[in-house]
Each structure stands twice: as structure tokens, then as C-alpha cells.
Amino acid sequence: MTAAHPEGIRVLVVDDEAPARQRIIDLLEKDEQVGLVLEAADGKSRRPDD
């Protein structure tokens, strides 16, 4: 486990099923404590305020 990050929780979503991956990402992006969401599918990153 990594040390706590001051910018919020940093999350990676790894799922080859796009709809399931998107549902998880949608929920994460609504969460104020989540600071960064990464997808393993194509390596691109998303932030809740993007």
C-alpha cells in the first residue's frame, strides 16, 4: 500500500469489459475524496474535474 496522498485517493481501474469499467469510473468521479482515476485499458488518466 502506498502512503496517503495529499491530493486525494489515487485509483486505478483495470477491467477489459468497458461497461463495467465505465460504471466504476463514473462513481469514482463523483467522489470528492478521489483525486485521480486511471484506466489500465489505454493508459489514459482522468481527474474528477476534467
Partner 1 sequence: MGKAAVQMIEREALDLVFLDVQMPELDGLQVIEAVGPAKMPLTVFVTAYDHHAIRAFEANALDYLLKPFSDERLEASLARARARHDEHSLLEFGRSVLRMVCGKPAAGGYLDRLVVKSGGTTRFIRVADIDWIEGAGVYANLHIAGKELLYRAALHELADKLDPMRFVRVHRSAIVNIDSIVELQPISHGEFEVVLKDGHRSRVSRTYRAQLEHRLGQSL
33 binds partner 1 (CB under 8 A): yes
Min separation Cβ 23 and partner 1, Å: 7
Q: For residues 6 and 49, which CB has a smaller minimum distance to partner 1 in the complex? A: 6
DSSP annotation of 19: H
Site string for partner 1, 1-20 (x = CB under 8 A): xxxxx---xxxxxxxxx--x
Q: Single out the residue of 18, 22, 29, 41 in contact with partner 1 (rule: CB under 8 A).
A: 41
39 Cα distance to chain centroid: 7
Question: Among 29, 42, 38, which residue's Cα sits nearest to residue 10?
Answer: 38
How far does the chain reach from its first CA to its final CA, in angstroms?
26
